[in-house]
């Protein structure tokens, strides 16, 4: 009898927390049922990044030279910081494309309201010797955010005009980045004309983009990317466009552009070195001419010695 009383006392003294703990324990997954080797499903951004990376890879290896127009939404709903993300996307996508009159050519159009559509860069309609990746990146740094509406139709008409003046043998591509519904007219008919003319169209809709409109404008469904916000847009660019860059070719460039390479009033690149631009890297450099070595700054170029002479002693081949 004493033992029964003790048992009932202990049972009645259990708290509500004790019973709650029991219920939580019942819901736990047994260790033996948890598969640690099961792969984590890829995220939406991972899937889109894989698609975009393949498409950029195809553009790089296309047999025809590239004429590429970017249309960047600068409307009020975007905001200045996010507009900077769009400009960064342009630079990142082009990171490994050689750009010069004889290689890839690019135009960058920022648009908002009807009176705020600006072709800040246009190396397609007309070209000059200085139109290369260095001048493009310098121009991107100067582009200012405007704010306003989302007149996509007007931007598409500008793109159509630019591409019409481009090279007949070029691989023509248009990339539209926008975060809102277009206003002021329907841009789809212009997109249809461009696609019929052989232009490949890619659309990126961010946050509030009109999914149906952007899908209809793109060349095919996989060319339309819909993101939940600019943070996701930035993640997509980071995952899809991150690559180790090749050095590539350097061409003669405006000497004043190399002024950042040294200090003082004297030219940084002086005889025999010259200011150059890496059309793939987008970096300026003072390069010594063939037959010389050195960093090129202020003429730091030394003529290479005869390869058959080493430390004043002639080296003979056996």
Cβ atoms of 235 and 45 closer than 8 Å: yes
Domain extent, residue 110, equals: 45-241
pLDDT in tens, 70-97: 999 999 999 999 999 999 999 999 998 9
Pair (305, 273) in one structural domain: yes
* 293 in any annotated domain: yes
What distance in Å separates the CA atoms of residue 19 and residue 290, rounded to the nearest whole number?
84
Kindly state the percentage of the chain with pLDDT values over 70. 82
The pLDDT, as a whole number, for residue 1 is: 46
Q: How confident is the model at residue 270 (pLDDT cuts 50, 70, 90)?
A: confident
What distance in Å separates the CA atoms of residue 267 and residue 159, rounded to the nearest whole number?
39
pLDDT, mean of residues 261-273: 88
The pLDDT, as a whole number, for residue 131 is: 94
Kindly state the percentage of the chain with pLDDT values over 90. 65
What distance in Å separates the CA atoms of residue 255 and residue 285, rounded to the nearest whole number?
10
Question: Residue 10 pLDDT > 50, yes or no?
Answer: no
Pair (155, 265) in one structural domain: no
The pLDDT, as a whole number, for residue 309 is: 35
Pair (197, 258) in one structural domain: no
The pLDDT, as a whole number, for residue 313 is: 32
Structural domain ending residue among the three candidates 190, 214, 241: 241
pLDDT in tens, 192-245: 999 999 999 999 999 866 889 999 999 999 999 999 999 999 999 988 986 666
Question: Residue 101 pLDDT > 70, yes or no?
Answer: yes
Element spanning 52, H or E: helix 44-60
The pLDDT, as a whole number, for residue 39 is: 73
Q: In terms of pLDDT, which residue wins out, 54 or 266? A: 54
Task: State whether the Cα torsion 88-137-78-158 is positive or negative.
Answer: negative
Dihedral of CA atoms 12, 17, 23, 27 in degrees, nearest 10, equals -160
Cβ atoms of 198 and 169 closer than 8 Å: no
> 106: which residues sit within 8 A by CB, 6+ positions away?
68, 69, 70, 94, 99, 121, 123, 124, 136
Element spanning 69, H or E: strand 66-73
Share the mean pLDDT of the chain.
85
Structural domain ending residue among the three candidates 241, 276, 295: 241
pLDDT, mean of residues 137-162: 96
Q: How far is CA 173 from CA 66, 198, 249, 298, in A?
A: 7, 9, 24, 41
pLDDT in tens, 12-69: 444 444 444 444 444 444 545 555 566 778 888 999 999 999 999 999 999 999 999 9
Structural domain ending residue among the three candidates 241, 264, 281: 241
CATH of the domain at 81: 3.40.50.410
Closest CA to 191 of 231, 149, 211, 220: 220
Question: Residue 2 pLDDT > 50, yes or no?
Answer: no
Q: Provide the number of structural domains found in the chain.
A: 2
Element spanning 240, H or E: helix 230-241
What distance in Å separates the CA atoms of residue 93 and residue 95, rounded to the nearest whole number?
6
CA Rg value for the chain: 30
């Amino acid at each position: 009898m004493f033992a029964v009383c003790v048992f009932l006392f202990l049972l009645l003294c259990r708290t509500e927390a004790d019973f709650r703990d029991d219920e939580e324990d019942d819901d736990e997954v047994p260790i033996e049922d948890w598969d640690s080797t099961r792969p984590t499903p890829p995220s939406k951004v991972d899937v889109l990044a894989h698609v975009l990376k393949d498409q950029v890879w195809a553009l790089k290896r296309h047999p025809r030279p590239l004429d590429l127009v970017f249309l960047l939404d600068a409307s009020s709903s975007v905001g200045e910081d996010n507009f900077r993300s769009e400009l960064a996307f342009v630079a990142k996508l082009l990171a490994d494309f050689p750009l010069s009159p004889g290689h890839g050519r690019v135009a960058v159009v920022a648009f908002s309201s009807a009176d705020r559509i600006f072709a800040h860069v246009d190396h397609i309609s007309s070209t000059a010797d200085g139109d290369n990746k260095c001048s493009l990146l310098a121009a991107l740094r100067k582009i200012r955010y405007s704010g306003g509406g989302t007149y996509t139709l007007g931007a598409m008409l500008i793109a159509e005009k630019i591409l019409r003046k481009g090279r007949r043998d070029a691989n023509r591509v248009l990339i539209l980045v926008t975060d809102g519904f277009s206003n002021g007219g329907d841009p789809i008919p212009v997109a249809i004309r461009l696609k019929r003319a052989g232009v490949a169209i890619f659309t990126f809709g961010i946050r509030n983009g009109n999914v149906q409109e952007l899908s209809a404008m793109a060349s095919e469904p996989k060319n339309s990317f819909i993101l939940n916000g600019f943070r996701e847009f930035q993640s997509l660019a980071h995952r899809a466009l991150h690559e180790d860059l090749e050095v590539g070719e350097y061409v003669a460039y405006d000497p004043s552009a190399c002024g950042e390479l040294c200090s003082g009033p004297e030219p940084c690149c002086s005889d025999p070195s010259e200011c150059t631009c890496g059309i793939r890297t987008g970096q300026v450099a003072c390069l010594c001419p063939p037959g010389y070595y050195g960093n090129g700054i202020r003429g730091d170029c030394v003529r290479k010695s005869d390869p058959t002479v080493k430390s004043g002693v002639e080296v003979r081949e056996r």
